[in-house]
Amino acid sequence: MADEDRPIAWPALKEGTPVHDSTGAEIGKVGRVVADKEKDIFSGITVTSGILSTERFAPADFVGRITETSVELSLEAAEAERLEPY
């Protein structure tokens, strides 16, 4: 397993990391990590999918595996498109 495929903790997650749906298709990039670092509470991420797209909020319950090179959501692309704007 390459280092970049190893799971990382949410505080190490960087904006711009590719986001994949449950089928493995890339659906966007991490816009921001939504969390309270002082209280160690991870609320989720925002997903952006282009210059003119709205950031969509993916709650932590939908965030699966986080690595240095990707975030996997437990949603399919169509479900991710229906996430609430952030």
Taking 3-state DSSP, the helix, strand and coil percentages for the chain, each rounded to the nearest 5, stand at: 15, 40, 40
Q: Which domains does the chain have, with CATH numbers?
A: 3-81 (2.30.30.240)
pTM for the complete prediction?
Answer: 0.90
pLDDT in tens, the chain (86 residues): 455 689 999 999 999 999 999 999 999 999 999 999 999 999 999 999 877 678 999 999 999 999 999 999 999 999 999 999 99
3-state secondary structure of 23: coil
Contact (Cβ atoms closer than 8 angstroms) between residue 84 and residue 56: yes
The structure tokens 């991490």 sit at: 30
Interatomic CA distance for residues 77 and 83, integer angstroms: 10
